[in-house]
Amino acid sequence: MMQQLVHDLCSFAANVVADDNAGLFARIHRELPLEIFHFSSGETYNGWQVPQNWRVRRAKVYKEGVEVFDGESHTLGVGRYSKSFTGDLEWEGLRPHLVTNPDLPEAYLFHCMWQYRPWDADWVLCMPYIVYRDLGPGHYRVELQTEYKPGQMLVAHHHKAGRSDKTIVFNSHTCHPHMANDGFAGTAVLIRLFQWLAEQDTYYSYRLVLGPEHLGSVFYLRDLPRGEVDRMVCGVFAEMPGTNGALKATATFAGGHMIDQAFANALQHHSRAHVQVPWRKGAGNDETVWEAPGYEVPFVEITRCEDQWAPYREYHTSLDTPELMIPARMEEMLAVLKQVVHSLEDNVTVERRFDGLICLSNPQFDLYMERPDPAVNKELEADAEKWGHLLDCLFRYMDGSMTVLDIARRHDLPFDRLRRYLGRFEEKGLVSLHRAAIQRTAPQRMRP
């Protein structure tokens, strides 16, 4: 069950560099064979830095000599990458170092910025508001001991070879400790997708890349041979699959790519509710890395982000647990991703092998799609007129210039049904179908 997999992945206190990361990837390896890449603390690229392995050794707060908070009581109790601090403070000096949210009184917040900006690191304690509200004026002592040790950032990939070496990438992050929707539920959906792909005979190759948000992709792509990058024709970043918001897909940077079309059709015809937004107007993730200059892999982000700056109520808190996940919503995202794969795999152009108007209702062909008739009760489906209008236009599309996705978009029809229907024309010898290869503009690289 996907829900159990989410529980298992969320059991690890994963981070950009953390002791639990090895166990996390070992658990994923039980689902899919992984190749692991190691990046040492202190490595830099374009200003990004692989952080140290940061640990909390003590995190006590006392008020008038009485313990009022222990930051080690929860993985999120101390802001990631906080420095050590021991000293006495009045309330006004302590308060700027406390992170809380009165709207989520029992939640610990995930303060993670300093992992990406270690030069800015200070110290903060993340406490539930039900603790914070009882503090107030007084004399406090803080005993915060953290340590930084050299470690390694882990990034993993799994590659499913197809008949072509042209590769479609799927990406999810692995650095939010214990968090489900913003993190490991998305990873679980992609694991299940690749287990399904393993059973498919695919034309394209598929690669799953798992690693810390931004930093993982930055260093993974840094070391990837250019030829491998050039073979990546498009990709998807997936997260936030388990809450009740509508599925939200962002456009690729340039827009109009075949993967944009595939998502538009899959969401329109295979989701409960959906929203499509421009580039980088979703939650915002590693699509910026994959589409960065010199790589320029067309990338879509798929989430259930309700608002760019407030994706869902429990976002970046200890309340983002496996119990928050709705299994049907995770399965829905998985179904949409499968449909996207089908569309990319089966997209074809259509070339006719006849001139003139074919009588599609003739039993010789039996390809006519019935339309409403006031004199005949045909008990038609609600979309019958859409299919009828398609027939008014279809023969002119059979010049090899339009793909099935193009036609489906123009007539608001589901790709899978339309593709099967056009396959019947091929069976009758009326058309020939030709793979519509995914095109990608060559990246513009700096000269050596």
Considering the domain 2-38+152-346, what is its CATH architecture?
3-Layer(aba) Sandwich (3.40)
* Domain assignments of the chain as residue spans, ordered by start: 2-38+152-346, 53-148, 348-435
d(CA 99, CA 174) in angstroms, rounded, equals 23
Handedness of CA 68, 74, 76, 79 (dihedral sign): positive
pLDDT attached to residue 366: 97
pLDDT attached to residue 378: 80
The neighbouring-strand residues paired with 403 are 349
- The topology (CATH level 3) of 53-148 is Glucose Oxidase; domain 1 (3.50.30)
pLDDT attached to residue 209: 99
Cα atoms in the Cβ-side hemisphere of radius 13 Å centred on 163: 6
Report pLDDT digits (tens) over 302-358. Answer: 999 998 889 999 999 999 999 999 999 999 999 999 999 999 999 999 999 999 999
Q: Which two tokens stand for residue 123?
A: 């110290």
Report pLDDT digits (tens) over 299-315. Answer: 999 999 998 889 999 99
Q: Which two tokens stand for residue 223?
A: 């070391």
Coil, helix or strand for 258?
helix
Report pLDDT digits (tens) over 19-38. Answer: 999 999 999 999 999 999 99
pTM for this one?
0.97
In terms of C-beta density within 10 A (0-12 exposed, 13-18 middle, 19 or more buried), how is residue 117 classed? exposed
pLDDT attached to residue 380: 83
Average pLDDT, the chain: 97
Look at residue 268 and tell me whether its pLDDT is greater than 80: yes
Q: Do domains 2-38+152-346 and 53-148 have the same CATH topology?
A: no
